[in-house]
Amino acid sequence: MSITKHVLVSGRVQGVGYRAWTQHEASLRDLVGWVRNCDDGRVEATLQGSPDAVEAMLDAMRQGPAMARVDEIITQDTEALATRNFEVTR
Active site residues: 19, 37
Q: Where are the alpha helices (DSSP H) in the chain?
A: 18-28, 51-63
Q: Which residues on neighbouring strands pair with residue 36, listed in sequence order?
A: 44, 89
- 87's CB contacts (< 8 A; 6+ apart) are 23, 33, 34, 35
